[in-house]
């Protein structure tokens, strides 16, 4: 998706040379969000396909306070599985360990959720980003979080 971001950036620099960098980045992230949402809709895996009536999707049981744990905004909250559902299911089915799924769930706004999945594939999330702090400290998400927090302050 970095290639797509570069393509869109080049397109806007060429077509709109007077557009500010901040405005161009805002447009790029908005377009990438739309592309990602539509991609997910087209390739959606339903909970029935993933969970087989197991307890991996506990999102309805998580207490929600309405604040994104990444950017701090108060907007529609979604539940992000710090270890993706498919990998949690594999861990549980392997019988090697008991998995407390609830400790791997965090509340994030839809744009931050999309950005997490845009940046990292499931296997990397499971291995490297198992806590909110690990995600917040990751260099790859810093440009997005800086942009998002600035946007929230000016909204």
pLDDT in tens, 73-129: 888 888 888 887 777 777 777 766 666 777 788 889 889 999 999 999 888 888 899
What does each C-alpha distance from 131 to 33, 39, 42, 74 come to in angstroms? 23, 26, 29, 21
Contact 132, 106 (CB under 8 A): yes
For the chain, domain boundaries: 1-44, 46-154
Whether residue 47 is predicted with pLDDT greater than 50 in this model: the reply is: no
Helix or strand (DSSP H, E) at 105? strand 105-109
Residue 127, both tokens: 């291995």
Q: Tell me, what DSSP letter sits at residue 46?
A: P
Q: What is residue 97's predicted lDDT score, i.e. its pLDDT?
A: 61
Lowest mean pLDDT among 1-15, 37-51, 85-99: 37-51
Tens digits of residue pLDDT in 16-34: 889 888 888 888 888 888 7
Whether residue 151 is predicted with pLDDT greater than 60 in this model: the reply is: yes
């Amino acid at each position: 998706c970095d290639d797509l971001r570069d393509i869109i950036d080049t397109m806007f620099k060429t077509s709109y040379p007077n557009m500010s960098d901040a405005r161009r980045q805002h447009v790029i992230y908005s377009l990438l969000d739309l592309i990602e949402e539509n991609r997910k809709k087209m390739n959606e895996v339903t909970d029935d396909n993933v969970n087989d009536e197991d307890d991996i999707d506990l999102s309805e049981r998580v207490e929600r306070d309405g604040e994104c744990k990444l950017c701090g905004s108060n907007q529609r909250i979604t539940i992000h599985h710090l270890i993706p559902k498919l990998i949690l299911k594999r861990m549980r089915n392997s019988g090697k360990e008991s998995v407390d799924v609830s400790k791997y769930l965090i509340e994030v706004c839809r744009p931050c959720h999309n950005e997490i999945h845009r940046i990292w594939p499931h296997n990397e999330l499971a291995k490297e980003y198992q806590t909110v702090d690990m995600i917040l400290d990751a260099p790859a998400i810093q440009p997005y979080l800086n942009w998002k927090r600035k946007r929230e302050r000016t909204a």
